[in-house]
Amino acid sequence: MRNPLSDRYDGDETDKRLVRAALDGRQDSLEDLIRRHQAWIYNLVLRMVWDPWNAEDATQEILIRIVTNLSSFRGESAFRTWAYRVAVNHALNWRRSRAEQDVKSFDCYGKALDATPDLDFPDETRASPETVALVEEAKVGCMMGMLLCLDREQRIVFVLGEIFEVTDATGSEILGLSRDAFRQKLSRARRDLNAFMSEKCGLVNPANPCRCARKTQGFIRAGIVEPDRLRFVRPHVASLEQVVEARSRRFQKMADAVQGGLFRNQPFYDPPDCIAGLRAVVNSTGFRSLLRLDNEGRA
């Protein structure tokens, strides 16, 4: 799977060719273009909003915005830069989800974890697949929740720079920041998450008492984990570690490496099928009028 955010991405010319063909009325080219990017947009948005169903709605809106504004892409930059700028701006302005309203800060999140009772849960080495899935749901959901403790700009910088390992050059271009500003914001987000996880999370610091398996029953009682409606444990393409091209990088602290690895080992999810919904947009009279006006302008 090509990572469009990688420095080694070699699909810029293909993207531009597909854009030209789409603007000439080739629906198959438009669908190919969307398929190349929808998984990455969805996985980016998911880590911004926590809930997969909200992420699906946001992804659909982003793709519709990309499609309906495609004629404004002039090819002066890479399509991926233009498209992910649209995605990031939409994610930053997305309506606040219930989860985001509930998680106001690291202090608030830490108190919520402390208030969640530690309850016995079967040893994962001897547990049923269903039990293992519930513990994994609790772990991934909790880590996704930690991201909500960051403000939105810090969160998007962390997702791009730490989880997807986007370079400061690419990240600053997408976000409209200087490279220094991108690095500073990423460093601050890493520091804040690292401080919290080092103090609270047993995955980072074994001296911490918090364990995913012991919190799972409490999360179920609180409605955070729903056994009949799992949010995060479902078939996926791979782990993020597999699809993101790892760069050699030195960490000042071992905990940073542990923290980054934990987030990158989370699933890389298959996106919802957005093509069917987009076809209605593409086949609408308004969209066809946009294409006709754009073609006349280029003639």
Type of residue numbered 47: R
pLDDT over 90, % of the chain: 63
50 and 136 belong to one structural domain: no
83 and 128 belong to one structural domain: no
pLDDT for 242: 74
Q: Which of 122, 44, 118 is nearest to 84 (CA)?
A: 44
182 and 141 belong to one structural domain: yes
pLDDT for 159: 95
pLDDT for 60: 94
Domain containing 278 — which CATH number?
A: 1.10.1740.10
The predicted-structure confidence for 189-231, as pLDDT tens digits, reads as follows 999 999 999 999 999 999 999 999 999 999 999 999 999 999 9
Tokens in use for 107? 């202090």
- Per DSSP, the residues of 36-64 read HHHHHHHHHHHHHHS-HHHHHHHHHHHHH
pLDDT for 299: 47
Integer Cα distance of 233 and 144 in angstroms? 13
Of residues 10 and 293, which shows the higher confidence score? Answer: 10
204 and 130 belong to one structural domain: yes
Query: Which positions ≥6 away from 204 have C-beta within 8 Å?
Result: 194, 197, 198, 255, 258, 259, 262
Is the pLDDT reported for residue 294 higher than 60?
no
Of residues 1 and 169, which shows the higher confidence score? Answer: 169
pLDDT for 92: 94
The predicted-structure confidence for 231-289, as pLDDT tens digits, reads as follows 998 765 567 777 776 554 443 443 454 466 788 888 889 888 888 778 877 777 666 66
Question: What's the mean per-residue pLDDT of the chain?
Answer: 86
pLDDT for 122: 62
260 and 198 belong to one structural domain: yes
262 and 171 belong to one structural domain: yes
pLDDT for 183: 97
Domain count, the chain: 2
173 and 128 belong to one structural domain: yes
Instruction: Assign 17 a pLDDT band (cuts: 50, 70, 90).
Output: very high
189 and 228 belong to one structural domain: yes
Of residues 259 and 144, which shows the higher confidence score? Answer: 144
251 and 131 belong to one structural domain: yes
Is the pLDDT reported for residue 293 higher than 60?
no
pLDDT for 230: 92
Task: Determine the average pLDDT of the residues in 14-21.
Answer: 95
43 and 62 belong to one structural domain: yes
pLDDT over 70, % of the chain: 86
Q: In this predicted structure, which of 76-85, 147-156, 261-270 has the lowest mean pLDDT?
A: 261-270
253 and 226 belong to one structural domain: yes
195 and 294 belong to one structural domain: no
Task: Determine the average pLDDT of the residues in 83-100.
Answer: 92
CB of 160 closer than 8 Å to CB of 116: no
Structural domain including 54 reads: 1-96+274-299
